[in-house]
Structure 1
Amino acid sequence: MPLPKKSTKTRLIKAALDLFAERGVTETTTKAVAERAQVNEVTLFRHFGNKHGLLLAVMEDSAVFAKLGQALLEQADPKVSVSQALKDYAEISLQALDRVPKLVRSVVGEAGQYPLENRLALGQGLTQANNHVAKHLAEVIAGVGWQSRFPTEKLASFLNSLLLGYFIIKSTSEGDELWEGQDDFLESLVELFLHGAIEPPMETNAIPRKKIVLDQVVDLPANLVRDILQRAKKLGRQDYALAYLLFGAGLSVKEIVNLKRSHLITEHNQHLLQIDSDTKRQVLLNKWIMGFRYGSSSSNPATQWLKSRKDNQPEMFITQEEKSMSEQELLASWQVLTEGFVLPNGQTPTIEQARQTWCVEMLMKGIKLEDLGILSGLAVEELQPYAQRAREKLAIEQAGLLDQKKSKSS
């Protein structure tokens, strides 16, 4: 039987991907793409509008960067050492990039000239790659009993950034004498991760390592938090409850996916959460978040979600198949909640920033650092950057009040 004929749109995307890889985005014309796909150039415009629209379709369809994470899945063998898994993944990733060097250089080098939707598509592709790698990186590390000193999402982003940066430098410049070759770079990369980012299980008589303290806190603006919560409310009760716990209780990803229905406690006209993680504690669910009220003494997004449930699953958050929600699925929900939102620095909000935002807001409301440590499960030294950020925001507020008084007296 003859093979089914590919659609015009599919042929155009395939032709564009091939030409972008051969010539780069700038040197590829819509006419050349149309000729390669054996269609009229008008047909290309009818489907995609212009070359940037075509590039957007190529990014979404091919997911060049997002597919790199599959390499680590193939290395997630408990018999393979962490160092070997990292090196194998790095080699496979660089080989994948090396197959389309012009496309990578062109997409990265010209990204500043793209419309916002193209930059968002590129960012989403990189985020997908990081999330995919984070999941399997966690499996590799846990499989040998090691642990990461950072959230695996950040670890994956750091790893991919180093690989992409090395590839860009290697493929665009000559005479770099820092590395003797790719093997030298990979060995240094693995060494950096093994001795700086991940660590073996601590021996019983070993001296505990000092906890990592954040150098900088990037909390989210109040209007963005409001937009995320409003979008969550429109998406459904579970999404609304998830966003509410992120910003109203400051929980980590691991803590949220481990919540049970029974962990929600109502007493003395307030709602509490029992957290059974490494730091067992109770956390109050805030009624007010960044100037807006989301709950009352009898009801809030979390209680409304649980009351609407018809299943018998003990987990607080579940999938559509009524199974316990995984960390990866929670991260996917966060992507939906924040899709299209961009911070002043041009980056998309990360789920860790929800907890940072909660910590900063609690300090601005006047809670003591030691008490916040009890609620958050974080050590006081880990909370110092949050205290600094809270002081910065309070200083700005104070300056604003003084400016208003000056305006009234003038």
Structure 2
Amino acid sequence: MSEIRSTPDRIIKAFIELFRDCGYKGATTRAVAERAGVNELTIFRHFGNKKGLMEAALQSISYQPMLEKIIHEEMTWDLEHDLRVIAEDYLSYMEKISDLVLIGVREAEMFPELNEIIVQISKQLKETMVSYFTEMSRRGKLIDIDVDFQVMNFIWMNFGYFLSKCRFGDSVISSSKDDFIKHSIFLFTRGLTP
């Protein structure tokens, strides 16, 4: 039995598939409509324009809801444990959508509307992590730091590992994801813990 999807879900799925196969430029509203089995006007009615469709597609695969769920349900307020859980989940998630991320990074400079959407998603991730670090600081579990800088260091550390593995495989860093997380989170938390 096939899964029944709403029209907006079918359109988003078609856009993501075309983005993966053809990039942002190739994922035209006409091609999306054809793949989704809808009229092109239906796309405009649901999403306004291609930028609106891209926003909806990125939100549908965004890590943000998962991160918020982790913070609300799995945090123990032990910095090393919590950052390990976040890093493991983030890197697993990024591996699943690696081709989309790499295409988005490559094409963002060519398409300002795509870049704008990617920046907003990055800001959401940063804001959620800033809230977590701020709460840890309030609880006296962090040294006196600039929270924004340390959140960005955490994000860069994990995103850098992800990019390195995607681009170079094991030729730059051959250790496993688990070893990377274990060692980097240990060192990172050691520097932040009073």
Do both proteins adopt the same fold according to a TM-score greater than 0.5, normalized to the shorter chain? yes
Contact 1:9 1:47 in 2 (8 A): yes
State the match for 2:21 in structure 1.
23
Contact 1:15 1:33 in 2 (8 A): yes
- CA–CA distance in structure 1, aligned partners of residues 17 and 76 of structure 2: 34
Larger radius of gyration: 1
Structure 2 unaligned blocks of 5 or more: none
State the match for 2:90 in structure 1.
93
Which residue type is aligned with residue 120 of structure 1? Answer: E
- CA–CA distance in structure 1, aligned partners of residues 118 and 94 of structure 2: 15
SS at match of 1:77: coil
Task: Give the drift of 1:12.
Answer: 1.6
Q: Which has the higher contact order (CA 8 A, sep 6+)?
A: 2
State the match for 2:120 in structure 1.
124
TM-score (norm 2): 0.77
Which residue type is aligned with residue 95 of structure 1? Answer: S
State the match for 2:135 in structure 1.
139
Which residue type is aligned with residue 25 of structure 1? Answer: G
Contact 2:165 2:173 in 1 (8 A): no
- CA–CA distance in structure 2, aligned partners of residues 19 and 148 of structure 1: 47
Cα-Cα RMSD: 3.1
Percent of pairs with identical residues: 29
Aligned residues: 190
State the match for 2:100 in structure 1.
103
SS at match of 2:109: helix
TM-score (norm 1): 0.40
Deviation by residue 1:219-261 (Cα, 9 ceiling, x = unmatched): xxxxxxxxxxxxxxxxxxxxxxxxxxxxxxxxxxxxxxxxxxx
Residue 152 (structure 1) aligned to one of 147, 156, 176: 147
Which residue type is aligned with residue 64 of structure 2? Answer: A
Contact 2:18 2:26 in 1 (8 A): yes
CA gap of 1:73–1:176, structure 2 versus 1, over 3 A, is farther
Task: Give the drift of 1:62.
Answer: 2.5
- CA–CA distance in structure 2, aligned partners of residues 183 and 153 of structure 1: 26
State the match for 1:11 in structure 2.
10
Residue 189 (structure 1) aligned to one of 184, 189, 193: 184
Contact 1:137 1:156 in 2 (8 A): yes
Task: Give the drift of 1:160.
Answer: 1.6
SS at match of 2:183: helix
Contact 2:47 2:53 in 1 (8 A): yes
Task: Give the drift of 1:53.
Answer: 5.1
Structure 1 unaligned blocks of 5 or more: 201-410
Contact 2:63 2:93 in 1 (8 A): no
Task: Give the drift of 1:84.
Answer: 1.6
Deviation by residue 1:139-188 (Cα, 9 ceiling, x = unmatched): 34655x42244232332222122212211221122342434221222123
CA gap of 1:64–1:25, structure 2 versus 1, over 3 A, is farther
- CA–CA distance in structure 1, aligned partners of residues 72 and 143 of structure 2: 18
CA gap of 1:28–1:95, structure 2 versus 1, over 3 A, is farther
CA gap of 1:122–1:29, structure 2 versus 1, over 3 A, is closer
Aligned positions of 1:322-401 closer than 5 A: none
Task: Give the drift of 1:10.
Answer: 4.5
State the match for 1:271 in structure 2.
none
Contact 1:12 1:37 in 2 (8 A): yes
